[in-house]
Structure 1
Amino acid sequence: MPDDSARFTEVAPRVWVAHYDWMHVNITLVGGSDGLLMVDTHGSAAQARLVADDVRRLGAGPLTGLVNTHEHWDHHFGNATMVEQFGDMPIHATEWARDHLEESARHTFEQYERDTADPRRDEVLATTVRPPTHTFSSAVQLDLGDRAVELVHPGRGHTAGDLVVRVPDADVLLGGDLVEESDPPFIGDDSWPLEWPTTLDLVLGLMTDRTVVVPGHGRVVDRSFVQDQRVDLGVIAETVRDLASRGVPQSEALAQGEWPWDPALLESAVRRGYEHLPRAQKRLPLV
């Protein structure tokens, strides 16, 4: 199924973002004198070929490096295609993302094998996984020639291995799925909802009031949007803590809590939150 043709739009000097309709994914290019760094590569080989065409259409230079913001398939299933289309290049990610990427991909393939009605099934299953080649644990600086780009692991949130990309001279921050605009951030079975708010505090500390923020999905936003999202995630974390401290069973938490988002989106958040609470913050319900 073809995606609507997207064009890279310059959101800051030599930083271009293309937004694709499927999953509202954002692909970002950061330009330097040595070439282009691509952040995330889309969710299938077929879609990545469309992204590659858009890179060529932009004509801003050779593609010389890739970054995967985390191990979820919609952010790295285009890796192999980019290498096939543009030649071998480093693929950067956190150590956690590299170590868990193939396991995560296996779960995705199993899901698409079962879902025979999904119109994207064949193209996803036809994708070859190419893991990251260059990893770090805390922070690393990439040299693009006349520009430095920083990759920072600010803590656990959407996954245990999220990274953000900072382009200091352009005042741009790429948030991966720690920040989402098209929907509330996805809290899944591998998320860390109690730590996510403090992780975003560190991310906010990398911004100014003028920072251009590119979320993993959705429209480009600003610092105040991220601050508002941090507040919502903080409410979720504190609500879990409060309910557990009052002895509310996990099975009743969604019904009893006052949540900033639709409770249907928070089943994993509550389960993971209860799992991660220290014993001292839990109170057994009275019988």
Structure 2
Amino acid sequence: MMQFSVGEFAPVADGVHVAVAEPAGVNIGLVVGESGCLVVDTGSSPEQGAEIRRAAEKVAGVPVVGVVVTHWHYDHLFGLAAFTDVPSYAHETVPAWLGRPECREAASGLGVEVSALTAPTHTLSLAKVIDVGGRRVEVVHFGRGHTDGDLVAIVPDASLIFSGDLLESAGPPSFGDDCHLREWPSAVDGILGLVAEQTVLVPGHGDPMDRLAAFTQRAEISGLYGQAEYLVAQGVRVEDAYEAGEWPFDEVTVRGVLPLLYAQLAAEGKIPRTHLPLA
């Protein structure tokens, strides 16, 4: 049986806290203002969302006045049903995912009823400023990457950014079938353009990251796509690609993502072709 739990909220900046929710090890953000607080991501079930809300309000000492969902994946979205009485914000692509087979499959695996899930009350295409009890939080979509609807939550007065799963420190980034590998580095560039020496980056999973770690991961994602693109141009088939390439991630990660890389390159008209020897 799936085990759900929520760790304690720990401070990562002035008035900003992070808790880890299992079973996915997802970071849950909490931004505390004078008269209200904001939760960033909601956990993997409506019941876990309710537990997150109780813990957040206990730590903050003020009520939750808003929620940001960084993308549609179950560990970020499925707890939203516990927050239906406050404004919630997600990218405009998120509601449609609730009706798709991928969402139903994820819910079934968790023992969650799809009918219990709820869509955000507000959607955005590019950016939104949220007043969190007198404190400013900026929510931005820098483009497609980990999904088609990744949002980043920026807390300017704390020099802190919640990146969602555009960045991860618990392991390699999660390259699911719904990611956009060519565009992903550009979305991370949007984050990096805001990063100063003292900026704290809270990834979707894992410990906070600094500027160097984020730059490195951006380069690795770009390198992954670039290496596959090079091999395709050389006529290397997907089944031979791992041995033929130099890769920035471990073998399990690379072998897992290679079919997706080749499929996305094929959709751009880039397929391996046999190079005939010159006469």
TM surpasses 0.5: yes
**Which moved further from structure 2: 3-12 or 33-42?**
3-12
Q: Which structure 2 residues correspond to residues 253-272 of structure 1 after superposition, within 5 A? A: 253-267=241-255, 269-272=257-260
Kindly tell me: are residues 127 and 13 of structure 1, through their superposed partners in 2, closer, same or farther at Cα, counting changes over 3 Å?
farther
Who is 1:153 aligned against?
141
Who is 1:117 aligned against?
none
> Shift in Å at residue 271 of structure 1?
2.7
2: CA distance between counterparts of 1:268 and 1:133? 35
2: CA distance between counterparts of 1:165 and 1:56? 19
Residue of 76, 89, 94 corresponding to 2:91: 94
1: CA distance between counterparts of 2:205 and 2:131? 26
Who is 2:14 aligned against?
13
> Shift in Å at residue 283 of structure 1?
4.5
Who is 1:216 aligned against?
204
Opposite residue 163 of structure 2, the aligned amino acid is G
Alpha-carbon displacement from aligned partner over 1:12-45 (angstroms, at most 9, x marks no partner): 1211111234221111111223411111000112
> Shift in Å at residue 154 of structure 1?
0.9
SS at match of 1:194: coil
Q: Which structure 2 residues correspond to residues 91-130 of structure 1 after superposition, within 5 A? A: 91-103=88-100, 104-110=102-108, 112=109, 121-122=110-111, 124-125=112-113, 128-130=116-118
Who is 2:72 aligned against?
71
2: CA distance between counterparts of 1:202 and 1:58? 31
2: CA distance between counterparts of 1:271 and 1:7? 39
SS at match of 1:179: coil
Identity percentage over the alignment? 38
Who is 1:52 aligned against?
53
CA contact (8 A) 2:107 2:114 kept: no
> Shift in Å at residue 172 of structure 1?
0.6
CA contact (8 A) 2:37 2:60 kept: no
Alpha-carbon displacement from aligned partner over 1:36-70 (angstroms, at most 9, x marks no partner): 11110001123223323312331431001111100
**Which moved further from structure 2: 158-167 or 189-198?**
189-198
Who is 2:168 aligned against?
180
SS at match of 1:180: coil
Opposite residue 96 of structure 1, the aligned amino acid is T
Show structure 2 runs of 5+ residues with no match. Answer: none
> Shift in Å at residue 125 of structure 1?
4.3
Show structure 1 runs of 5+ residues with no match. Answer: 113-120
Kindly tell me: are residues 213 and 254 of structure 1, through their superposed partners in 2, closer, same or farther at Cα, counting changes over 3 Å?
same
2: CA distance between counterparts of 1:136 and 1:25? 23
CA contact (8 A) 2:6 2:19 kept: no
Opposite residue 285 of structure 1, the aligned amino acid is T
SS at match of 1:178: coil
CA contact (8 A) 1:236 1:260 kept: yes
> Shift in Å at residue 145 of structure 1?
4.2
Q: CA RMSD in A?
A: 2.1
Kindly tell me: are residues 3 and 189 of structure 1, through their superposed partners in 2, closer, same or farther at Cα, counting changes over 3 Å?
closer
2: CA distance between counterparts of 1:144 and 1:180? 26
Opposite residue 10 of structure 1, the aligned amino acid is P
2: CA distance between counterparts of 1:90 and 1:181? 29
Who is 1:115 aligned against?
none
> Shift in Å at residue 175 of structure 1?
0.5
SS at match of 2:8: coil
Aligned residues: 272
Opposite residue 18 of structure 2, the aligned amino acid is V
1: CA distance between counterparts of 2:24 and 2:77? 14
2: CA distance between counterparts of 1:35 and 1:8? 16
Who is 2:42 aligned against?
41
**Which moved further from structure 2: 16-25 or 96-105?**
96-105
2: CA distance between counterparts of 1:2 and 1:49? 16
